[in-house]
Amino acid sequence: MASPTIKLNSGYEMPQVGFGLWKVDSATCADTVYNAIKAGYRLFDGACDYGNEKECGEGVARAIKDGLVKREQLFIVSKLWQTFHDEDRVEPICRRQLADWQIDYFDLFLVHFPAALEYVDPSVRYPPGWFYDGESEVRWSKTTLQQTWGAMEKLVGKGLARSIGISNYQAQSVYEALLYAKIRPATLQIEHHPYLQQPDLVQLAQTEGIAVTAYSSFGPTGFMELDMPRAKSAPPLLEHPVVKEIATKHNKTAAQVLLRWATQRGLAIIPKTSRPETMAQNLDSTSFDLDSGDLEKMAGMDLNIRFNKPTNYFQADKLWLFG
Ligand X SMILES: NC(=O)c1ccc[n+]([C@@H]2O[C@H](COP(=O)([O-])OP(=O)(O)OC[C@H]3O[C@@H](n4cnc5c(N)ncnc54)[C@H](OP(=O)(O)O)[C@@H]3O)[C@@H](O)[C@H]2O)c1
Alpha carbon 290 to its chain centroid, in Å, reads 24
Instruction: Return d(Cα 235, Cα 309) in angstroms, integer.
Output: 19
Rounded least distance, CB 132 to ligand X, Å: 20
Q: Does 51 bind ligand X (CB under 6 A)?
A: no
Cβ atoms of 322 and 306 within 8 Å: the answer is yes
Candidates 152, 222, 247, 263; binder of ligand X (CB under 6 A) is: 222
Residue 270 phi/psi, 5° resolution? -140, 55
Residue 73 C-beta: closest distance to ligand X, Å: 20
Min dist CB 275 to ligand X, Å, is: 5
- Pattern of binders to ligand X over 81-100, x per CB under 6 A? --------------------
Interaction between residue 35 and ligand X (CB under 6 A): no
Size of the site for ligand X (CB under 6 A): 29
Residues forming beta bridges with residue 5, ordered by sequence position: 15
271 binds ligand X per the rule CB under 6 A: yes
Span from 126-134, 137-145, 264-272, 296-304 in contact with ligand X (CB under 6 A)? 264-272
Q: Which of 32, 143, 187, 281 binds ligand X (CB under 6 A)?
A: 281
Selected catalytic residue, list 50, 119, 132, 195: 50
- Report angle CA 263, 266, 267 to the nearest 5 degrees: 65
Note if the bond before 235 is cis, omega within 30 degrees.
no
- Distance, in Å, from the CA atom of 263 to the CA atom of 286, rounded to the nearest integer, reads 7
Q: Do the beta carbons of residue 253 and residue 268 sit within 8 Å?
A: no
Cα–Cα distance, 263 to 14 (Å, whole number): 13
* C-beta of residue 316 within 8 angstroms of C-beta of residue 132: no
240 annotated to a ligand binding site = no
- Tell me if 101 contacts ligand X by CB under 6 A: no
Residue from 115, 160, 186, 270 touching ligand X (CB under 6 A): that is 270
Cβ 264 to ligand X, closest distance in Å?
Answer: 17
Handedness of CA 256, 262, 266, 272 (dihedral sign): negative
Q: Cα separation of 8 and 174, whole Å? A: 17
- Amino acid identity of residue 18, one-letter, is G
Establish if 220 lies at the interface with ligand X (CB under 6 A): no
Question: Does 50 qualify as catalytic in the annotation?
Answer: yes
Fill in the amino acid letter for 108.
L
Which residue lies nearer to ligand X by CB, 121 or 225? 225
Q: Contacting ligand X (CB under 6 A), which of 22, 106, 119, 130?
A: 22
Q: How far is CA 91 from the centre of its chain?
A: 21
Tell me if 225 contacts ligand X by CB under 6 A.
yes
Residues tagged active-site: 50
Binding residues for substrate: 112
Give the interface with ligand X as residue ranges (CB under 6 A).
Answer: 20-23, 45, 112, 167-168, 189, 215-218, 221-222, 225, 238, 253, 255, 270-275, 278, 281-282, 308
